[in-house]
Amino acid sequence: MTVFGKGFVTILGCAVLLALLAIPLILRKVPRNVVYGYRTRSTLGDDALWYAANAHFGRGLLAASLVAAVAISLLHRAGLAPSTFLEASIAVLLVPLAVATFATARFVRARKRNSNVGTRFDPPEGGRS
């Protein structure tokens, strides 16, 4: 197998691995942890937000992986020079992943903003007597 073929298999394998990692997130099977999932201070501090954000991220990650796999296959057939193919395939793998990550960040911000609506001026527990 040529270096070109090995690069194709490696990048395609990464896309498949990311797709497989997305499935438990979509199904909300991953509890809060510091290793796997969409981890921020907000998501690690709230179970409901953790599962919602990770399901959202998992769907984006799965879509990004599918887009990357198709794009990498098309690039492989395009007959690019190996160095050009490697650079393009890495971009094709990372750009959709970055889009999924930023979309999830927006989702988390919107979810937090909507959960705080109406609580800004509420009195503290116990209120004043």
Tally the C-alpha atoms within 13 A of residue 47's C-alpha that lie toward its C-beta: 2
In a domain, 126, yes or no: no
Residue 69 pLDDT greater than 50, yes or no = yes
In a domain, 123, yes or no: no
Residue 119 pLDDT greater than 50, yes or no = no
Number of domains in the chain: 1
Mean pLDDT (whole number) for 46-60: 96
Integer Cα distance of 67 and 74 in angstroms? 11
* Least confident interval from 15-29, 68-82, 98-112: 68-82
Which residue segment(s) compose the domain that 110 sits in? 20-115
Tell me the pLDDT of the chain averaged across its residues: 88
In contact, 82 and 4? CB cutoff 8 Å: yes
- Each residue of 9-41: pLDDT tens digit? 999 999 999 999 999 999 999 999 989 999 999
| Global pTM value | 0.83
In contact, 37 and 43? CB cutoff 8 Å: yes
In a domain, 2, yes or no: no
In contact, 108 and 49? CB cutoff 8 Å: yes
In a domain, 55, yes or no: yes
Instruction: For residue 17, give the amino acid letter.
Output: L
In a domain, 37, yes or no: yes
